Amino acid sequence: MVRNGVQLITYADRLAGDLPGLARLLTSEPWARAFSGVHILPFFTPFDGADAGFDPVDHTAVDPRLGVWEDVAGIGADGDLIVDIIVNHVSADSAAFRDWRARGRDSDANGMFLTLSSVFPEGASESQLARIYRPRPGLPFTPITVAGERRLVWTTFTPQQIDIDVAHPRSRAYLDSILDAVARAGVAMVRLDAVGYAIKTPGTTCFMTDATFEFIADFTERARARGVEVLVEVHSYFRRQIEIGRSVDRVYDFGLPPLVLHALHTGDGGPLVEWFRVRPANAVTVLDTHDGIGVIDVGADEPAEGSPGLLPPAALDALVETIHEASGGSSRLATGAAASNLDLYQVNCTYYDALGADDRAYLAARAIQFFTPGIPQVYYVGALAGRNDVELLGATGVGRDINRAYYGAHDVERELARPVVRALMALCAWRTAMPVFDGAFRFSLDDAVLTMAWQAGSDSATLAVDLRSRAVRLGWEVDGVAGETTDLLADPPRLSPAGP
């Protein structure tokens, strides 16, 4: 079972160059004490394709430019390891798809890839096509010539990412081969990427339908049989996250990032504590990931009328504008239809810049995250309190690259010397070492003061954050020894003088 400590989310190449470099980094200080595990973003062949590794040509092979499976297994031996399984699609350059393109019905892969006609054999009406949910502009089809015949192939994300029929025997065998590969490498948990789009059912939104939940349950059973836990990644209406949490090991808490920003920017903690009342406890908590800051996760359910969100539309619009202002306008360059952005429901911005690069506000946000029930993950840019990389954005024209900076060894050393980064690493180490977070949780909101507390036997930890002033008080007691700080930046928590 994955431990309840802070985990790092990172690309191998963008933080440490390759997998051996990442292994060395994770076993050095302060990383080794701060993080109990790591989620390595796609390292499969190729790791630098059309969607930064999320379009694998061979999902069972480590890209040799990054390392080999033994490198992956070595990282897993030193801490909990999470990797991605892309269940919705494969690369257009994959051997199976190339064979189908060339041979069509004579290919062993015939039926593995979804087309308009395979999902709608009787044809699709305008209303049926209009109902399909997609996070990007236009319909999810790309015209491709297959064995001399022009076909409309289903491509939810980009034309390079070809959607598969997950019920097809060839597809099931393909997904099982990936599970076998990661299980052999000692992976503790897999993240199901884009699983919400995996099942296409005529007459539905083709997103998080009953059939999707059935597929998630089946895949989870197959993973557990190999000793691998399952983390589901779905950006959607918050009540669906609650439903998903009932059938899987872990679900992402994507509602937390915008609600914490709303609370710290407005002083209004009401929506945040309302989320605390209903959210799934078996969550992985994040403030930042390789994608943007989700908006859809706290908004109303678009396909269903009368389903309000955690934030009303006006507050959601105001939050987006506040992030743009806090970042000095740089996030606006990477969000919405700007910079070839693919996901219109996310704001592309580092979390540090989303809080105006305010050190104490940023540490307060992390403290709230670490006290929220679940296993906390910190994205590598966030771990280094990174700023928006406008230069990289300008070079690639890809909106999400504003929060996907490349760090060399000297860059990492420089960032680790900053007080806010040193304080965050100490806070991570404190959270990872504290046993109390497997105990009982309670929370309250008194005017603008949010209090979050954990109790396990005689051990305790309490966090109080004034959402208006962003002042923090953190107190704890472990084995009869008490500690307290009112300044996470100048006096980060430590369990003992020799502790983190």
Q: Which residue numbers are catalytic? A: 193, 233
Most confident of 290-299, 302-311, 423-432: 423-432
51 is an annotated ligand-binding site residue: yes
d(CA 223, CA 277): 30
277 is an annotated ligand-binding site residue: no
* Cα 85 to chain centroid, rounded: 13
375, β-bridge pairs: 284
In 225-302, alpha helices (H): 238-245, 256-266, 270-278
CATH number of 95-163: 3.90.400.10
Most confident of 190-199, 233-242, 338-347: 190-199
Q: Is the pLDDT of residue 478 over 90?
A: yes
Q: Is the pLDDT of residue 25 over 50?
A: yes
d(CA 302, CA 306): 9
The two structure tokens encoding residue 230: 């399952």
- Whether omega for the bond prior to residue 373 falls within 30 degrees of 0, making it cis, is no
Establish how many alpha carbons lie within 13 A of residue 305's alpha carbon, considering only the half-sphere containing its beta carbon. Answer: 0
192 is an annotated ligand-binding site residue: yes
Q: What is the pLDDT of residue 340?
A: 44
User: ∠218-219-223 over CA atoms, to 5°?
Assistant: 120
Tell me yes or no: is domain 439-485 CATH 1.10.630.10. Answer: no
237 is an annotated ligand-binding site residue: no
Confidence of residue 497 (pLDDT cuts 50, 70, 90): very low
Q: What is the pLDDT of residue 302?
A: 66
Q: To the nearest whole number, what is the mean pLDDT of the chain?
A: 93
Q: Is the pLDDT of residue 337 over 60?
A: no
Most confident of 4-13, 131-140, 206-215: 4-13
Q: What is the pLDDT of residue 235?
A: 85
The two structure tokens encoding residue 223: 């993973």
For residue range 60-72, list pLDDT tens digits in order: 999 999 999 999 9
For residue range 170-179, list pLDDT tens digits in order: 999 999 999 9
344 is an annotated ligand-binding site residue: yes
78 is an annotated ligand-binding site residue: no
All CATH 3.90.400.10 domain ranges of the chain, comma separated, are: 95-163
Task: Provide the sign of the torsion angle of the four alpha carbons 401, 373, 317, 209, taken in this order.
Answer: positive
What stretches of 138-247 adopt beta strand conformation (E)? 141-146, 149-154, 161-163, 189-193, 229-232
d(CA 17, CA 123): 49
d(CA 433, CA 446): 29
**Contact criterion met (CB below 8 Å) for 315 and 262:** yes
The two structure tokens encoding residue 216: 């998630």
Report in angstroms the alpha-carbon separations of 446 from 268, 450, 464, 487.
Answer: 11, 7, 10, 21
For residue range 106-151, list pLDDT tens digits in order: 999 999 999 999 999 999 999 999 999 887 778 999 999 999 999 9
What does the DSSP assignment read for 25-49?
Answer: HHTSTTHHHH-SEEEE---EE-TTS
Confidence of residue 475 (pLDDT cuts 50, 70, 90): very high
The two structure tokens encoding residue 30: 């302060």
* Residue linked to tokens 């504590």: 273
Q: What is the pLDDT of residue 494?
A: 87
Confidence of residue 182 (pLDDT cuts 50, 70, 90): very high
Q: Is the pLDDT of residue 358 over 60?
A: yes
Q: What is the pLDDT of residue 407?
A: 97
All CATH 2.20.220.10 domain ranges of the chain, comma separated, are: 439-485
**Could you tell me what percent of the chain has a pLDDT over 90?**
82
The pLDDT of 198-215, averaged and rounded, is 93
Q: Is the pLDDT of residue 338 over 70?
A: no
Residue 241 CB contacts under 8 Å (≥ 6 apart), including other chains: 234, 251, 252, 253, 254, 255, 279, 280, 297
CATH architecture of the domain with residue range 7-90+168-436: Alpha-Beta Barrel (3.20)
What is residue 174's three-state secondary structure?
A: helix
Report which of 170, 250, 254 is spatially closest to residue 216, judged by C-alpha positions.
250
On the 0-12 / 13-18 / 19+ scale of CB atoms within 10 A, 145 is: exposed
Exposure string of 293-324, with b = 16+ CB inside 10 Å and e = fewer, is bbbbbbbbbeeeeeeebbbeeebbeebbebbb
**Contact criterion met (CB below 8 Å) for 454 and 436:** yes
Most confident of 119-133, 297-311, 326-340, 460-474: 460-474
389 is an annotated ligand-binding site residue: no
Q: Is the pLDDT of residue 341 over 50?
A: no
45, β-bridge pairs: 58
Confidence of residue 218 (pLDDT cuts 50, 70, 90): very high
Q: What is the pLDDT of residue 499?
A: 44
The pLDDT of 183-207, averaged and rounded, is 94
- Whether omega for the bond prior to residue 376 falls within 30 degrees of 0, making it cis, is no
The two structure tokens encoding residue 137: 């502009």
Q: Is the pLDDT of residue 401 over 90?
A: yes
The pLDDT of 442-464, averaged and rounded, is 97
Q: What is the pTM of this model?
A: 0.94
The pLDDT of 414-423, averaged and rounded, is 98
What stretches of 47-166 adopt beta strand conformation (E)? 58-62, 80-86, 89-91, 141-146, 149-154, 161-163
Q: How many CB atoms lie within 10 A of CB 172?
A: 17
Q: What is the pLDDT of residue 496?
A: 60
What is residue 249's three-state secondary structure?
A: coil
d(CA 114, CA 106): 16
Q: Is the pLDDT of residue 336 over 80?
A: no
Q: Sheet containing 449-456: give its strands across.
A: 440-446, 449-456, 459-466, 472-478, 481-485
d(CA 116, CA 99): 19
The pLDDT of 191-209, averaged and rounded, is 93
Residue 474 CB contacts under 8 Å (≥ 6 apart), including other chains: 367, 461, 462, 463, 464, 484, 485, 486, 488, 493
Report in angstroms the alpha-carbon separations of 115 from 54, 124, 132, 167, 168.
Answer: 20, 12, 14, 14, 13
The two structure tokens encoding residue 175: 């997904």
Confidence of residue 305 (pLDDT cuts 50, 70, 90): low
For residue range 265-294, list pLDDT tens digits in order: 999 999 999 999 999 999 999 999 998 898
The pLDDT of 51-55, averaged and rounded, is 84
Q: What is the pLDDT of residue 342?
A: 42
All CATH 3.20.20.80 domain ranges of the chain, comma separated, are: 7-90+168-436
